[in-house]
Structure 1
Amino acid sequence: MRKFAIISLLVFSFFLAKAQKVPTLTAEVAEKLSKMPLNCIGQEFPNKTSHVANTAVDGRLLPSELHPAFYGCLDWHSSVHGHWMLVRLLKTVSGLKNKAEITALLDKTFTPEKMKAEAEYFTKYQVANTYERTYGWAWLLKLDQELYTWDNPDAKKWYAALQPLTKQILTLWKAYLPKQTYPNRTGVHPNTAFGLVFALDWAKTFKDVSFEKQINDKAKAFYLDNAATPAYLEPDGSDFFSPSLEIADLMRGVLPKAQFVNWLNKFYEERSLKRISDLPIISDINDYQGVHLVGLSFTRAWCMKGIAKELPKGHKLKLRFEQTADKFLANALPLVFAGNYGGDHWLASFAVYALEK
């Protein structure tokens, strides 16, 4: 009976997407979404630490002992982008009724002691320097950027506390990038293009010219000669990224506009464009891997919106990407609230980022 109800909801959402207006990030929607990270940031279990144990001692440590700041929301990266989302909502949404609750939670997380311990994790244990590379690293830099660009007393305090961890992540990424021989083209966490998009945003904001050059050079080495990308094979069964759209989203930030348009014209064939425009089919929204496909709608939407902005008026993909992105958003937002903890611990962040695009 439950399965039938879920399928009915999905079918309803499909047709609703065709009729309803594109959702926007109103104060009401923002408050509803904010409750998801508020509820899970302090929830330690279930938990997927991804910690490589070095001894019997650290093999028995609780998640909160390994990561005193970012232990909740099932995994480290979801906690990080849950914090980013709460910062973003405080910063941009007026009339947020639970502002005091969000502020109190962030005050509890962003302490110098906790962030020092988070930074030390990456050097304290063997192979920990690869931990969360590069998906979690990318969200950490996005969180850092969000705080830095907010002229607010609390934000300044939280930003100062975060710096030991930010500096550690930057040190690791700048050391890793020259050694990365091949890109990761997966549709899940290790996707190289997604990580570089956020890293490039950070480098431009902070005017870190050398890091920006590293990113640009590596992006060109990986993707500049790519043509006729086989996006007609997307998605894999648990993707929350479109590998091809993540590449295009990165290259729009790397190449001059005219060069980017020429590159994009060669990158996609019609059969691939058709494939990445189809709504993902989610057969079981309560499956912790299958629910990734809800996130795929959000990431496709934000990539398409960003790409469309760079295209000249009259380009064949400009309106097509804008309208397809709206379709994805209208379909996916109701599904954020339709599953279980497999989606609850992370999807709200993706919804906020996509809606703001």
Structure 2
Amino acid sequence: MTTLDAATASRFARAALGHVTREYPHKLDHVLECDGDALPPRLLHPVFFGSFDWHSCVHGWWTLLTLRRLFPDMAEATHIAKLADETFTEDRLAGELAYLERPSSGGFERPYGWGWLLYLHLEATRHGDRPWAERLAPLARAFAARFSRYLDVLTYPIRTGTHGNTAFALVLALEWAEAFDEELTERIRSLVPAWFAGHEDCQAWEPGGDEFLSPALMEALAMVRCLPQAAAAAWLDNFFPRLAAREPASLFVPATVSDRSDGKIAHLDGLNLSRAWCWRALAPLVAPAGSAAVEQTAAEHLAAALPHVTGDYMGEHWLASFALLALGDARH
């Protein structure tokens, strides 16, 4: 399957509806300043308290709103709208904003959750029949300001395959910024090439044992999003000079997931999905000799992961978002 169909959309929606308000189990990103800060997730985060952790709840909501837009007639669409109306209230979102103002919350969810919150707000703007975007806007602006301050001091990009990855967060943030923040747009578009322009002949020594992002492919996707088309294509030729030979080989073989009940090892299903997303996005700019290999590889990675998006909570609380990225251009 290379496109999102109605049956799959319903499956993803049911899964996300089942976890965005499921408080436990929960993994907090929370700095305690005193005994009184030891509070349950629903009190710390009145909106994003479900889905095992804050960032997964944010992109769980992105999944739900995206599916409502793409499949407005599916049975779950009404439930999504009702739950969003009840959740995205001014009072609850003010609570999320207040959490950011804590002195110890400066690094909260940086940068992964920041990027996803901006992406959620952008998706909310596509639902003109509801006030969700207006209500989310102050929180989005707060995270955009954090991005600006962070980029002022981030000398080196973080190229890990997990939540700290700079390229992934900036790919999401850039799309939001293009609609709302010209200064942040220009900052991202200048920094990404400054970091990566000289990179050639990628060796791709990956994956790591708990990665859900490919450092190499995320770097490539960030460059494609920040450069003019001709320049991006030329950079890709230098970065991946042997795609027709399916090299670097590590990027062409789907990751093996040995235990989907282990939350870290289950990340590798997400790696297969995010690789498929990246390969499909890069394919139009790849030289013709390598395009068939790239397209086949994207399909192989999708096939390896899609059956496992639901079934075990360690993956089910987040994988549908990455499947949506992989299955189509949800940006439009």
TM bucket normalised to smaller? over 0.9
Partner residue, 1:80: 58
Contact 1:36–1:345 at 8 Å: present in 2 too? yes
Q: Which amino acid aligns with 1:266?
A: N
1:267-302 C-alpha deviation (Å, 9 max, x unpaired)? 125475321010111111111111100011110011
Q: How many residues are treated as equivalent by the alignment?
A: 326
Verify: 1:317 aligned to 2:290, yes or no: yes
1:198-227 C-alpha deviation (Å, 9 max, x unpaired)? 111112233x32111100111122111112
CA distance in 2, matches of 1:317, 1:145: 33
One of 28, 32, 47 as aligned partner of 1:69? 47
CA distance in 2, matches of 1:160, 1:212: 21
Verify: 1:241 aligned to 2:213, yes or no: yes
1:142-177 C-alpha deviation (Å, 9 max, x unpaired)? 111111234x311xx011111221111111111111
Partner residue, 1:153: 129
Partner residue, 2:199: 226
Partner residue, 2:309: 336
Match of 1:197, SS state, is helix
TM-score, normalised relative to structure 2: 0.94
Partner residue, 1:120: 98
Contact 1:27–1:94 at 8 Å: present in 2 too? no
Verify: 1:130 aligned to 2:104, yes or no: no
TM-score, normalised relative to structure 1: 0.88
Could you list the runs of 5+ residues in structure 2 that have no partner in the other structure? none
- Judge which range, 316-325 or 115-124, deviates more: 316-325
Partner residue, 2:188: 215
Q: Which amino acid aligns with 1:297?
A: N
CA distance in 1, matches of 2:145, 2:225: 23
Verify: 1:283 aligned to 2:261, yes or no: no
Match of 2:288, SS state, is coil
Contact 2:310–2:316 at 8 Å: present in 1 too? yes
1:104-130 C-alpha deviation (Å, 9 max, x unpaired)? 111121101111111111112x33011
One of 34, 40, 43 as aligned partner of 2:19? 40
CA distance in 2, matches of 1:83, 1:215: 25
Contact 1:200–1:212 at 8 Å: present in 2 too? yes
Change (3 A) 1:29 1:118: same
CA distance in 2, matches of 1:205, 1:326: 31
Partner residue, 1:304: 279
Contact 1:229–1:272 at 8 Å: present in 2 too? no
Instruction: Return the offset for 1:36.
Output: 1.4
Contact 2:202–2:248 at 8 Å: present in 1 too? no
Question: Which of 1 and 2 has higher RCO (CA within 8 Å, sep 6+)?
Answer: 1
Partner residue, 2:143: 169
Verify: 1:260 aligned to 2:232, yes or no: yes
One of 136, 144, 152 as aligned partner of 2:121? 144
CA distance in 1, matches of 2:285, 2:122: 23
Could you list the runs of 5+ residues in structure 1 that have no partner in the other structure? 1-21
1:236-294 C-alpha deviation (Å, 9 max, x unpaired)? 00010000000000100111222112211221254753210101111111111111000
Partner residue, 1:202: 176
Q: Which amino acid aligns with 1:219?
A: V
Contact 1:66–1:121 at 8 Å: present in 2 too? yes
CA distance in 2, matches of 1:31, 1:235: 31
The alignment yields a C-alpha RMSD, in angstroms, of: 1.4
Change (3 A) 1:281 1:269: farther
Partner residue, 2:30: 51
CA distance in 1, matches of 2:16, 2:185: 31
CA distance in 1, matches of 2:277, 2:21: 29
Instruction: Return the offset for 1:319.
Output: 2.5
CA distance in 2, matches of 1:331, 1:115: 38
